[in-house]
Amino acid sequence: MKNVKFITIESDFGAGKKGAKLGPQALLNQLKKRIPDWDALNQPERVLSEDLESDNEHPFLKNIYSILEVQKRAVLSIQKELENNAGFPVILSGDHSNGSAAISAIKNAFPEKRLGVIWIDAHADLHNPFSTPSGNMHGMPLAIALGLKHEVEDANEVSKSELELWQELLELGSEKISPKILAQDLVLIDIRDLEEDEIDTIRERGILSFSPAECDAMGIQEVINKSLERLSDCDHILVSFDVDSLDPEISIGTGTPVPNGLTLQEASELLKGLLKSPKTIALEITEVNPLLDRTNPMEEIAADLFLTLIDKN
């Protein structure tokens, strides 16, 4: 634990359901109960959003002003920890729109390095304002990372203001790098709830993805091997773990649970294997929503899972 640096992004402006901004602190409180000498080992860096407000001005980029502000703050915090070599960053974020801040921070800190991303999620998160069915931005972080813009047939009539704000998101970070990752440097694991345009993007851009059926057929170790092999030319890897990748039988304490997900054992094996790679530079855990399940609280599940990652046995 001495080598772990927690960074919390306490915002849920990108989600359709409120409560995920409470997830990072709920998870930290569970870890504090379980880890001896927590106070001596950990002084988490907090990115807050309490001073920001919701807005409905842009239907295809809901709450974009607040999301941009939160992510600018998050990029600075994460980049500072990376550049100070303060420890291995574990980013606990509210909703998954904040994943683009993690990607932006790493790329901004190491602009000449090639970044790979392993996205463990029930969803592909490849929507953009031109295709989104909801306007909720937790479905867009990978589109931001890939620099996606207009498609041939856009579903939505996007305003000039939304175009400008989307471009600002694409260039998040002082280096204004876009795209931040290449399609061949993205791996999607356990995705199982996608819209047609996302399926087309995955197919057309050759993004490596693993469905639950494929994970079951080849086994978690082979998924790990194939993922790291695909990213062998990358200098750094970010592993982003959305708790909705877990099966809802474990907990429904997340915004968009989807059946046929990972077991806790599978998730632990997967994360342990990916974190063993010397190229893995940070871990994100996201979408814990304490308001949605008090029978099997997701923060307790996530804490149990995290402890398996630092267990030397």
pLDDT at 225: 98
pLDDT at 151: 60
Domain at 290, CATH number: 3.40.800.10
For the entire predicted model, the pTM comes to 0.96
Domain range holding 304? 4-310
* Poorest-pLDDT segment among 110-114, 292-296, 308-312: 308-312
139-168 average pLDDT score: 89
- pLDDT of 312 higher than 60: no
165-171 average pLDDT score: 96
**45-61, pLDDT tens digit by residue?**
999 999 999 988 999 99
* Poorest-pLDDT segment among 36-40, 45-49, 257-261: 36-40
Q: Residue 115, Cβ neighbours under 10 Å: how many?
A: 25
pLDDT at 40: 65
- Could you tell me the pLDDT band of residue 313, with boundaries at 50, 70 and 90? very low
Based on the structure, what is the number of domains in the chain? 1
239-246 average pLDDT score: 98
245-250 average pLDDT score: 97
